[in-house]
Amino acid sequence: MNDDPGKNTAFSRAFARWFADYDAERRRQKKRMGANLIGFAAPPVHPDQIADTIARAGRSRALDALGIHRTTLDRYLTGDSVIPRAHWLLLCILADGLLPGMSDDWRQFRFDGDRLAIVGTRYSYSAREIAGWHYQIRNLDIKSRRIDELERRIAHLLEIGQFGAANDALMASR
């Protein structure tokens, strides 16, 4: 990797331009300088951060997701080219398995391919399964009401009926 983080590379020049408008707006609003966009990964300050993120996401997976050539990825890693913000955020999502701005309630979940997995378990759900939860819950409610109705009918029949065995009358005559 690049040993000198202060070296005047294309990465460092573009990084300075990347957030110039954002920092100017923050100054105009008298907000703290350099604050991150809430819920989004901070931009990389050195190509080593990009390398660490790619290592966590997996190189081939990153290449597929970003739709770039391996040479372009190498340029990002050496600092010869600046990683676009969209690529950086997508790499962070791939590496962490979380979407920006997710609350702490989602920390136990990870996206694994096209499935939402619960960390530490073997449970994972596809989008189709999650979309069907509403219908499953509704079906459970309907069945629960039907069971309650049948239990009321059984209780009513037990109150009004003489439900002995068919041969009880014969046994009593002996």
Domain ranges of the chain: 10-107, 130-173
Give the model confidence (pLDDT) of 102-131 as tens digits.
Answer: 777 777 888 877 888 888 899 999 999 999
Answer for the pair 14, 82: CB distance below 8 angstroms, yes or no.
Answer: yes
- The predicted-structure confidence for 10-40, as pLDDT tens digits, reads as follows 766 776 776 666 666 666 766 544 445 656 7
State pLDDT tens for residues 47-85.
888 999 999 989 998 999 899 999 999 999 988 888 888
* Type of residue numbered 133: W
Quick one: pLDDT at residue 103? 73
The answer to whether residues 82 and 10 touch, using CB atoms and an 8 Å cutoff, is yes
SS3 115: strand
More confident: 51 or 96: 51
Banded model confidence at residue 163, pLDDT cuts 50, 70, 90? low
- pTM score: 0.49
Using the predicted structure, report yes or no on whether residue 171 has a pLDDT greater than 70.
no
Enclosing H/E stretch for 23: helix 20-28
